[in-house]
Amino acid sequence: MDQNRQGARASYVALSVFVALWILAPSAVRRFNREAFVEFQAPALHLLGKSRDLATFWEKKSRSVEEMAAAGRDLARVNAALEIQINKYEDIRRENVRLREITHYNVPAEYMSVVARVATRDSSSWWQRIVIRKGRKDGIRPGAPVVFGNTVVGRVTAVHLTTSEVDLVTSPGFRCTAYLEGDEQNNIVLVNGVASNSLGTAKARVSVIPRDYSLLAGGQPTRVFTTGMGGVFPSRLILGYIDGGTYATQVGNFKESLLVPSRDLYNLQEVSVLVPLHQNPGEALIQGEDFQ
């Protein structure tokens, strides 16, 4: 029995020494350790995602040929209409670039779109994130915006070899500038995720709303758009809708409101990561070791 107690005491002493060493160890050691455990889990996450895809494949395969033919025909029509629109927008884009060059206006960042499947979702009061099945190997970089269609999903926070972690719009670590729909003065507001307190829908906070701003009439949901400033998110992407009304803050001449994401972020199967073609100065800061 004494031997047991002595052994336990020695173990606690060894643990205390290890804790001290762990605190004093360079952050590279801790980062390497974290990375090793992430990579250990990555194959299982891929397997999980692929088995989900397989289940979807078999579910779709069980549909009738007539149903699939009808879906294919509808898709072809949509594609034809979209091709016309793409040509139209290409002309506008060229015109825009030409005008920007003439006026020496800042050229907006260009992005490479990487489509990624969602492997798993994870949320608590302190984080709301998804893991996607694309990583460093596919050219994804930390800080890259993640979208679905024209809706912002979040931002890449950590990149591993074959997987990446994405902080959702509602996650406490998320921050972004935005415009409100119907605001003709284009006042800039701030959107940041809030720690989730309930079992309800996760929301973000919209702050620095000017006092004289009023929501759209007729109960129409007010959309919140990205500004494109800072070079992280392209402009005019939808961040979500203003939830309910606005309320006055205790300090300053501003109002606040809550933002509901325009899509159910926990039901997404696929997202697009917009990787900037040229690294912007902000990315260097994001890649710092304290960024999590």
Partner 1 sequence: MGWAWLILLLATYPWLLGADLASDTLASSSLVFFISGTCLIAPCRRLKRWQAVLFAACLGFLFEARRPIPDGTLALCLVAIAIFLSSNRPLMRNTPGMLRVAAIVNVGACLIWFVASSYASPAAATDLAWHLSLQLLLAGIVGTIGLLPIALTQNAVMDRLNVPPAPDTP
Tell me which residues touch partner 1 (CB under 8 A): 1, 3-5, 7-8, 11-12, 15, 18-19, 22, 30, 33-34, 37-38, 40-41, 44, 48, 120-128, 131, 157, 165, 172-173, 192-199, 201-202, 264, 266, 292
Complex with partner 1: residue 44 or 76, whichever CB lies closer: 44
The DSSP call for residue 31 is: H
* Nearest-5° Cα angle at 75, 240 to 71: 105
To partner 1, the closest distance from the beta carbon of 196 in angstroms equals: 4
To partner 1, the closest distance from the beta carbon of 99 in angstroms equals: 39
To partner 1, the closest distance from the beta carbon of 154 in angstroms equals: 13
Complex with partner 1: residue 121 or 136, whichever CB lies closer: 121
Per the listing, tokens 């720690």 go with 195
Complex with partner 1: residue 109 or 144, whichever CB lies closer: 144
Rounded distance between C-alpha atoms, residue 226 and residue 111, angstroms: 16
Complex with partner 1: residue 117 or 121, whichever CB lies closer: 121
To partner 1, the closest distance from the beta carbon of 76 in angstroms equals: 35
Complex with partner 1: residue 91 or 122, whichever CB lies closer: 122
Complex with partner 1: residue 13 or 68, whichever CB lies closer: 13
- Residues with Cβ within 8 Å of 178's Cβ and at least 6 positions away in sequence, in order, are 188, 189, 190, 191, 206, 224, 225, 226, 227, 239
- Residues with Cβ within 8 Å of 238's Cβ and at least 6 positions away in sequence, in order, are 150, 151, 152, 223, 224, 225, 262
Specify whether the CB–CB gap between 242 and 222 falls below 8 A: yes
Complex with partner 1: residue 178 or 215, whichever CB lies closer: 178
259 exposure class (CB count in 10 Å sphere: 0-12, 13-18, 19+): buried
To partner 1, the closest distance from the beta carbon of 94 in angstroms equals: 41
Rounded distance between C-alpha atoms, residue 207 and residue 250, angstroms: 12
To partner 1, the closest distance from the beta carbon of 194 in angstroms equals: 6
To partner 1, the closest distance from the beta carbon of 290 in angstroms equals: 10
Specify whether the CB–CB gap between 189 and 206 falls below 8 A: yes
Per the listing, tokens 């800072």 go with 230
- 189: closest CA among 178, 201, 202? 178
152 exposure class (CB count in 10 Å sphere: 0-12, 13-18, 19+): buried
Looking only at Cα atoms, what is the longest distance across the chain? 86
The number of CA neighbours under 13 Å toward the Cβ of 19 is 6
Complex with partner 1: residue 141 or 175, whichever CB lies closer: 175
To partner 1, the closest distance from the beta carbon of 243 in angstroms equals: 16
